[in-house]
Each structure stands twice: as structure tokens, then as C-alpha cells.
Structure 1
């Protein structure tokens, strides 16, 4: 008898494979020490959350990698680099995420992430030619938006640290954010994820608005918060929820 795979059947197979791939990042020791935690992980995190419709598997892998890098969870990074690559994140996007988040989570976190990714890249024969150049042709600058951001930062902080004002302008918003190998929407996605994972909701208003201006939907933002509760902890997400609520409500006016 010929087997016929329906679209629903194919989707179920893809969902099951995604859950199995994500579950592969759970160390075997968890089941030996905390079987209840293993059950929550398999049933609720990998079985349900990773398969939520609000955010793609690829985006979930990128958000998870950003959160783990921010939290300096070096023991988990390599397996999540592999998961991200298997989920559709490109080597160039991993490279750019590490570079980007160096400015938002610190150089030490970025260095540790690069060290964790290096063996995975080597195993998969990803070479320097597959990665972004240090000086690519940059994306166009939104002059109006950048002028408004610069005026706000300069007006508030020029008398405090002109070095921060100048470096923010020249290194971040006239260079880093314009690098083409990580889409603006994805730069915003990993930035917001990092701010949540770091417990810095006071920085979210600007970056969540920027993320939505760059194409992140409210549904995706809400799904990202739900996903990050497992990786950053419920308290950090509950600290971020009022900020997200205020951004959503203001944009709806």
C-alpha cells in the first residue's frame, strides 16, 4: 500500500523533529539528578514551547543562543550553535550575532561564545570565507531616525560622557547596526532577547520599538517573552512584561 503524506502529516513530522533536536541539548545528567526537571523540559519546553506557532523554530534557536551567550552559559553554547545551524540560522548570522552582542553583553561573553562556536564550525567545515567580512558595504542609514536618536542621547548625556555618545553613534548606529549579514529585524530580535536575559528591561522600550519598526510582530514579541521565561527565568520576563505592554499599547494608539 502506497503511503500518502498529507500536509498535516509533514508538518507533524517537522514539529517532532524540531522537538527532538531541541531536546538533544538537554544533558543526560538532568534525568539522573532531577527527573522532574527532565519531564518539564521534554513535555513543556521542548514538546510545547519550542513548537509554538508564534515564533519560528529558527527564531527560537537564535533567541536561545542570544540568551545563553548573555548569561555566559558556556557549557550550553556549543550544542545550541549546532541547534541554530540545524534550524536554519546561517554561519554568517551566528558570527554576526556574536559580534553584535559583544556591544550589548560585553566582550567576555562574545569571546566565550566564539570559543564555543569554533569547534562546531570546524566540524562542519565552515571556513573564514563563509563568514562576514570585517568591512562590508553597509546598509543605508535612516538619517531621520538616527538624528532623533543622536539628539536624545547627546542632549541627555553629552555632559556626562562624550565618549559614550560618540562611540554609540559611530560604532553602533553608523556601523554595527548597518552590517548586512544579520537583518535589522534579527539584530533587534537578539538585542531585545539579550536585554531580557540580562535583566535590563529599562533599555527595552527603545529596542522593542526598533524591533517592531524592523518587522517583528507583536505576536512574535509575545512568543519570544514566553520562550525566554524558560531560559532567563520567570522573574526576568515578568520584569520585561510591563515594558512590552506599554510599547504595544502606545503603538496601537
Structure 2
């Protein structure tokens, strides 16, 4: 099964202070053909103007991951966590029984850009929890958020794993989803898929019962790879 989500087909939200592209239905954007993939519910590509951000709001029973691309997020929540999350770091917040938080662009002069990711948990009603970390790339595929918190990765309340995939010019990698679904979200660069199709920044590809090979283009390739439960 292939699920292709081209960048230009994503939903959009513009509020002056925020320019957001939605891979799946979110907020005022609704499309019954794009409601998520396995336990992956949200990938929003958010650009926030200097000094602006999301006022205090609540979440419940959701695993929320922020992957900072440029700038830094100023995070504050009802559990007493007050942190700045700079570009290159990963943040995971388990909403559990309920949590409120605010997220602002820490800079007064530069835009903030980050990916807001929601994954449905496999346990409801847990105690809210928070983690953030800078995780260096090791090899082609580096775990960022995992079910067992292995290595330097953050942990998550779901049988799911999130990796950062990086390829240099001409490098290849095979992705196997014969047993479990997977979803690829391209951050930058481009890749060929099985020597035919091309994926570029913002494109997404969901797979199940498939095996594919990616080959990086000349400019290199960076993506997030989601290993997801078969639901």
C-alpha cells in the first residue's frame, strides 16, 4: 500500500503571525482522505513570526513531538516546565490526563520554523511528562523518539519509533514495511524512490507491506521516518 501526500496538496492556515501547512486534517482544515496514518495523527509545518506564538491551551491523551528546524521555541506548561528548545533539538510532551502549555517564538527578530507532530498513545490517562534533547546523527538512520527510549532517544507511550534519516549525494537506503507501516516526511533535499519516483521537501509517503529503496540526489536528503504500529 502506498499513500502519497505531495507538499503542494497539504492544507494551509495563515493567521498573520502563523503560516502552517497541514499534512493531515487539523483545526479548520478537514479532508476525509487525509486523517492520519496508523497512529500518526498530525504533521504540521509551522512558521511563527518573531515574538508570536500559541497562547496557553490544553491537550489530553496525545504524544506531542516538536522538531525544531530554525529558531527556538519558548515552552511553558502547567507541570512547571519552562524551557527554550533551539533548532536541532527534539521535544516530546505526553499530555496524558491533561496538560496546558504555551509555545512562542523565542526570537524578537527571526522566524521560528518547526514540525509539530502528534501520535496517538497506546495508554490513556497517564501522568503528563516532558523531555527534550539534542541528538547527534549517527549513520544514516538515527532514533529520535522510541517506544523503549533506547540510546539517546526520547521515549513515547506508543509502539512507535521516529528516526532522522540523512543521506549524502548518491547514498541509498532500503525501507521495509512488510510487518509494520511506515511514513516518510521529507525535510530537505530530494530522493529517488525505486529509481523512478522523486520526493522533495514537504512530500510524504506512507507504506505498508512494501519494500522500497531511496537514493539521495546531489544536494543530499534529510527526512523523518516513522515506524508505526499495525492498527
TM normalised by structure 2 equals 0.32
Larger radius of gyration: 1
TM normalised by structure 1 equals 0.30
Higher strand proportion, which one?
Answer: 2
Higher helix proportion, which one?
Answer: 1
